[in-house]
């Protein structure tokens, strides 16, 4: 749920900034054409083939749009005209979507297209039951699917076959550690490169009045309940990363590995020093963002593009701390010499096609053309009313979006009525991290621009560890990892507070294994071996 929440927040935030992670790239926007829909030479959207048969297409998906898109809107009429279809969508807010989807699938009345946020136990079960159409033969027929890297397809395979078409989500996105660089400079400290240096910085940020107001009111290191966010500074230290190996040579989850033990020891030291805020174990992570924006937190987290209202608001921070300078903290060099962050499948949300269409190739083709059409990247420079494709996708200037200081901003209250992009998820695959560099171009303040540019530069040149479990499907991993992670989080929280000794670490790991961890680790490693997958740096 935590990863899903982070992904959801980012997608919502990107919607507020023209889905920047899903709308820039170095691919020619004119290269992606099909028999029923395509572009003219200037990128304008063409109309459907009038000689093709009109097809009814049922579409069932979750949504973050507010208001929720309906089946009778201007956007639906545009989609019908574009693709010569009778488009019948049904959208459910994501907070109740999984439950409604399970009911829909259990009824046997499976829609032509089904959307999901992620690979989970239901995806695996329904694919094995034959509910979805295998898509492997189509993957090299469309520009948007040709661009998907192999490790992303691996994460969607069940029994060696691909059943879902993913929507791009930057593999380098997600929360990164950040620091008040102006506080470092004021106190004569250098950027921390390991946990010992980080501890010294956190102590100084708490005790040495970095904001200069003469009060003991600053938080050196932000922390929230559930040890949220995981204060990792590299793949070696990540809780959800399968990087370390046990004595048998098996890969194991980071939460029971040496990297996490080092982090927990670091946090326990801060707790003893009285550096962590007293109520962190019952504090919501959103409240730490508020405190950061108030200029009271020195070390926290933010992602490329920011997180909207539940993130760092540079305009608010500037009001409260006019001299604030925020920079990303580079990953620490680990004991094994590695130095870099983690990437997973580089996608968020996917579409499946009902297996009942196996004998309806024309409908399958039309659906894939529709998805492909919406998965075309649009560069930052092309996101304006002069680009007919973009203008169509976003519902027209003054209706679905407006230009503000040269940047297209959605008109939230109108978007779900007029913008086809509110119905079929956008997001083509982008190369060379151009999507990351777009964030600096659309940032609203000079401070945010500088931060986004620095973050993009560092992420672009950094090595990343591909989490091997993102390339396989393990039912036990899906079933057990959440509850096992909660168990370790609860026990390590006790260790931080001194309620359980750190010397109990190995005993805690044995408890983890007895609660199903051993069986999960065995299955994961069996799947990794069977699929010839291993952790690797890219």
Please state, in angstroms and rounded to a whole number, the distance separating the CA atoms of residues 473 and 160: 10
Cis, bond preceding 67 (omega within 30 deg of 0): yes
Nearest 5°: phi and psi at 349? 80, 140
* Unique residue bearing structure tokens 């004119």: 30
510 burial level (CB within 10 Å; 0-12, 13-18, 19+): middle
Reported as a pLDDT band with limits 50, 70 and 90, residue 15 is very low
Please state, in angstroms and rounded to a whole number, the distance separating the CA atoms of residues 176 and 464: 13
| Whether residue 34 has pLDDT greater than 80 | no
| Reported pTM | 0.81
Q: Residue 364 belongs to what H/E stretch? A: helix 361-374
Please state, in angstroms and rounded to a whole number, the distance separating the CA atoms of residues 299 and 267: 13
Please state, in angstroms and rounded to a whole number, the distance separating the CA atoms of residues 267 and 270: 5
Please state, in angstroms and rounded to a whole number, the distance separating the CA atoms of residues 149 and 48: 30
Tens of pLDDT, residues 333-364: 999 999 999 987 789 999 999 999 999 999 99
| Whether residue 400 has pLDDT greater than 60 | yes
Q: What is the mean pLDDT of residues 436-462?
A: 93
Task: Report the first-to-last Cα separation within the chain, whole angstroms.
Answer: 27
Nearest 5°: phi and psi at 91? -115, 140
Please state, in angstroms and rounded to a whole number, the distance separating the CA atoms of residues 3 and 173: 12
Q: Which of 52-61, 128-137, 143-152, 392-401 has the lowest average pLDDT?
A: 143-152
Quick one: what percent of the chain has pLDDT higher than 70?
A: 91
Please state, in angstroms and rounded to a whole number, the distance separating the CA atoms of residues 243 and 266: 20
Please state, in angstroms and rounded to a whole number, the distance separating the CA atoms of residues 298 and 285: 15
Quick one: what percent of the chain has pLDDT higher than 90?
A: 78
Tens of pLDDT, residues 115-133: 999 999 899 999 999 999 9
Rg of the chain on CA atoms, in Å: 24
Question: Residue 32: what pLDDT?
Answer: 30
Reported as a pLDDT band with limits 50, 70 and 90, residue 140 is confident
For 356, the 3-state DSSP assignment is: helix
Question: Residue 16: what pLDDT?
Answer: 34
Reported as a pLDDT band with limits 50, 70 and 90, residue 150 is confident
Question: Residue 1: what pLDDT?
Answer: 35
Question: Residue 306: what pLDDT?
Answer: 83
Q: What is the mean pLDDT of residues 39-55?
A: 59
Tens of pLDDT, residues 172-182: 988 999 999 99
CA distances from 334 to 60, 177, 221, 278 (A): 45, 16, 20, 30
Please state, in angstroms and rounded to a whole number, the distance separating the CA atoms of residues 108 and 360: 18
Question: Residue 19: what pLDDT?
Answer: 33
């Amino acid at each position: 749920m935590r990863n899903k929440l982070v992904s959801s927040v980012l997608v919502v935030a990107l919607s507020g900034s023209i889905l920047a992670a899903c709308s820039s790239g170095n691919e020619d926007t004119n290269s992606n054409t099909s028999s029923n829909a395509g572009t003219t030479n200037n990128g304008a959207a063409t109309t459907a083939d009038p000689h093709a048969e009109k097809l009814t297409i049922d579409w069932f998906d979750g949504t973050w749009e507010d208001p929720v898109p309906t089946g009778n809107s201007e956007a639906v009429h545009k989609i019908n005209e574009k693709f010569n279809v009778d488009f019948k969508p049904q959208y459910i807010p994501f907070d109740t979507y999984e439950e409604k989807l399970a009911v829909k699938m259990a009824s046997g009345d499976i829609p032509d297209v089904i959307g999901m946020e992620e690979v989970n136990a239901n995806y695996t079960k329904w694919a094995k039951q034959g509910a979805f159409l295998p898509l492997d033969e189509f993957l090299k027929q469309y520009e948007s699917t040709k661009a998907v890297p192999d490790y992303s397809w691996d994460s969607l395979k069940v029994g060696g076959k691909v059943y879902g078409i993913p929507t791009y989500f930057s593999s380098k996105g997600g929360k990164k550690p950040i620091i008040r660089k102006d506080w470092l400079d004021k106190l004569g400290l250098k950027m921390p490169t390991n946990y010992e240096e980080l501890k010294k910085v956190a102590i100084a940020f708490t005790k040495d009045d970095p904001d200069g107001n003469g009060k003991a009111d600053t938080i050196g290191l932000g922390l929230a309940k559930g040890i949220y966010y995981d204060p990792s500074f590299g793949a070696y230290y990540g809780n959800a990363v399968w990087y370390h190996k046990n004595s048998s040579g098996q890969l194991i989850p980071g939460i029971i590995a040496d990297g996490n033990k080092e982090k927990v020891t670091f946090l326990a030291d801060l707790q003893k020093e009285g550096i962590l805020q007293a109520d962190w174990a019952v504090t919501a992570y959103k409240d730490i963002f508020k405190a950061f924006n108030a200029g009271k937190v020195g070390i926290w987290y933010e992602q490329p593009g920011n997180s909207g209202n539940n993130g760092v608001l540079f305009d608010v921070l500037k009001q409260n701390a006019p001299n604030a300078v925020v920079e990303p903290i580079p990953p620490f060099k680990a004991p094994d010499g590695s130095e870099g962050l983690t990437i997973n499948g580089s996608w968020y949300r996917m579409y499946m096609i009902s297996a009942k269409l196996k004998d309806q190739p024309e409908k399958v083709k039309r659906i894939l053309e529709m998805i492909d059409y919406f998965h075309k990247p649009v560069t930052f420079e092309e996101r304006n009313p002069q680009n007919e494709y973009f203008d169509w996708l976003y519902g027209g200037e003054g209706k679905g979006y407006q230009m503000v200081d040269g940047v297209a901003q959605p008109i939230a209250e109108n978007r779900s009525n007029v913008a086809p992009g509110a119905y079929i998820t956008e997001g083509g695959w982008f190369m060379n991290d151009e999507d990351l560099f777009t964030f600096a171009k659309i940032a609203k303040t000079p401070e945010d621009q500088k931060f986004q540019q620095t973050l993009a530069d560092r992420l672009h040149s950094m090595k990343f560890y591909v989490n091997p479990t993102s390339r396989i499907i393990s039912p036990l991993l899906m079933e057990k990892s959440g509850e096992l992670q909660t168990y370790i989080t609860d026990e390590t929280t006790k260790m931080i507070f001194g309620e359980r000794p750190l010397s109990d670490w190995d005993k805690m790991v044995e408890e983890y294994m007895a609660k199903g961890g051993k069986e999960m680790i065995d299955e994961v490693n069996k799947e990794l071996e069977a699929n010839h997958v291993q952790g690797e740096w890219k």
